[in-house]
Structure 1
Amino acid sequence: MKYFTIAELCRSSTADNKRIDNTPAPEIREKLQTLIEELLDPIREAWGKPIRVNSGYRCPALNQAVGGVSTSQHQKGEAADLNAGDPTKNRELFDKIVEMQKTGRIAFDQLIDEAHYRWVHISYRKTGNRGQVLHL
């Protein structure tokens, strides 16, 4: 893990404020490590500039507190919401990720432009990645 840490993916001001224990179980930690190794670090390397994680792992209580859907991959340690600084930079990051997928450098389950590039959601599954590119 070159750029991102599991601790960074578990950090949450909402969890802190609501006193929610967002410590991942060992199997979730393993998925977070895979997410970093397969997607986040390669994306950061190709991007060449810092990327902030808005939201990574969310235990069920935290997921509910932030209004996440019950099927959220964040709860499984398979997703992260990224921010490159502003909507223009997030769109550039999104386009870079699509290019990396098209050239076979990475595979992802879902890449989602959230709310006109307010942030970029990306997820990864060990098997069965769908390669979906969505705009919500």
Structure 2
Amino acid sequence: MKHFTFQEFERSDTATRHAIDNSIPDRLKGNVAALVDNVLDPLRRAWGKPLAVTSGYRCPELNRVVGGSRTSHHMRGMAADVTTGNKTDNRRLFQLVLDLALPFTQLIDEKGFSWVHISYDPSDLRHQMLKL
């Protein structure tokens, strides 16, 4: 985990507003590290500029409050929503994931590239691409 921290994955304005403890359980930190080491750090190196994690780990209560899927990879520390800061570059980032042939479970264009969702479950690398 060179370019990202566990704290970035725990940070949530929604959790703060609702007084939700969104600390990553020790048993899930390995999942976050695997996502970072196998997908996000290589992506960040290739991108050459910082990427912001807008949603990383979500405890079940936070996931419920934000309306996340009941089977969300976020709750297992296997997903991150990332942004470059603008939709044009987010579209390029999405393509870069494909060009680099990075392993992923899901790669999602969220709301017209407002952010990019990337999940990594090493037991399920289906390379599913979606537009939500």
Is TM more than 0.5 here? yes
Alignment of 1:1-136 (within 5 A): 1-101=1-101, 106-136=102-132
Matched to 1:76, the amino acid is R
Partners of 2:68 and 2:94 lie apart in 1 by 21
Partners of 1:130 and 1:27 lie apart in 2 by 24
Partners of 1:42 and 1:94 lie apart in 2 by 13
Partners of 2:2 and 2:31 lie apart in 1 by 16
TM-score of the pair, normalised by structure 1: 0.94
Partners of 2:81 and 2:3 lie apart in 1 by 15
Instruction: Write out the 4+ residue segments of structure 1 that deviate beyond 2 Å after TM superposition.
Output: none
- Per-residue CA deviations over 1:12-35 (Å, capped at 9, x if unaligned) read 111111110111212211101111
Partners of 1:100 and 1:111 lie apart in 2 by 13
TM-score of the pair, normalised by structure 2: 0.96
Matched to 2:109, the amino acid is D
Q: Residue 16 of structure 1: SS of its match in structure 2?
A: helix
1:128 Cα deviation after fit: 2.0
Partners of 2:90 and 2:124 lie apart in 1 by 26
Structure 1 unaligned regions, length at least 5: none
Percent identical among aligned pairs is 48
Partners of 2:66 and 2:124 lie apart in 1 by 27
Partners of 1:127 and 1:120 lie apart in 2 by 21
What's the Cα RMSD here? 0.9
Q: Residue 80 of structure 1: SS of its match in structure 2?
A: strand
Matched to 2:103, the amino acid is A
Q: How many residue pairs are counted as aligned between the two chains?
A: 132
Partners of 1:8 and 1:58 lie apart in 2 by 12
